[in-house]
Homo-oligomer: A and B are copies of this chain.
Amino acid sequence: MRTIKLTIEYEGSLFVGWQRQKNGIAVQEVIENALEKMTGEEIKVIGAGRTDSGVHALGQVASFSTNFPHDITKLRDGLNSILPETVAVIKIEEVQPSFHALRSSKGKHYRYKMFVSPIKRPLYWGRAWRIKYDLDLDLMSKACKLFPGVHDFKAFCAAKADVKTTVREIFSIQLAVSHEGLICLEIKGKGFLRQMVRRITGALVEVGRGYRNISWIEDLIEKGQRAEAGITAPPYGLYLVEVYY
């Protein structure tokens, strides 16, 4: 058996997310179906993390075992010809048998894209979050500095998440404005709770628009209570950029 690592890009608009669901088509599912066509084996892939419906990926990672006997670039090209236009294997590697896309992961890089405009912008539809009010980016950058480190992120976790602990480590959060005027939050951390990036983004936007002040975020991080955490940014602005190993 060979252990294979896939790096996958997808446009998430038409998927129910990474993981198989009953109510639609998942990215995992189209990859497993394509793998079965290419290898004749029933393969279950392990993803580095679940992404919600509408979330995009530039570098999702998945691993699996196979007896595929040929050059693996042939497997990559075969998969890409079978996969829909919205999913691609951008890299394929044979790795040590101990490699596990989820358990071997040392961290992840997410990007959240948004823009300020009173009017909808069709070319960003499904790709970035439109904010209707002006944002104080300096204040948001200041608030970003509160997150790095090990904290109880209970206040930034989806209510229905079933996890042992809500303590997580954030490496860095940085705010940058792209050439085209998109506001990009670059969030890197060891691990993330369900909806954590979207809830952090939502909280930063509430500060940026002047609806909350920085001490509110400090309280949320220190007290670790879910009660008053603000809005959750929509999924379509979120990109899984890279998984670290």
In the docked arrangement, what's the CA distance between A80 and B132, Å?
14
| A residues neighboring B (CB under 8 Å) | 9-11, 56, 58, 76, 80, 85-90, 119-123, 125-126, 178-179
In the docked arrangement, what's the CA distance between A80 and B56, Å?
26
Contacts known (A179-B178, A179-B179); A88 close to B120, Cβ less than 8 A? yes
Which residues of chain B are within 8 angstroms of A121 by Cβ–Cβ distance?
A: 9, 88, 90
Contact between B11 and A125, CB atoms less than 8 A apart: yes
Most buried by B among A120, A121, A122, A125: A122
Contacts known (A178-B179, A179-B178, A179-B179); A11 close to B123, Cβ less than 8 A? yes
Contact between A119 and B88, CB atoms less than 8 A apart: yes
Partner of A90, one of B9, B58, B119: B119
Q: Looking at the assembled complex, report how far the CB atom of A3 sits from the nearest CB atom of chain B, in whole angstroms.
A: 22
Contact between B178 and A122, CB atoms less than 8 A apart: no
Which residues of chain B are within 8 angstroms of A178 by Cβ–Cβ distance?
A: 179
In the docked arrangement, what's the CA distance between A136 and B119, Å?
39
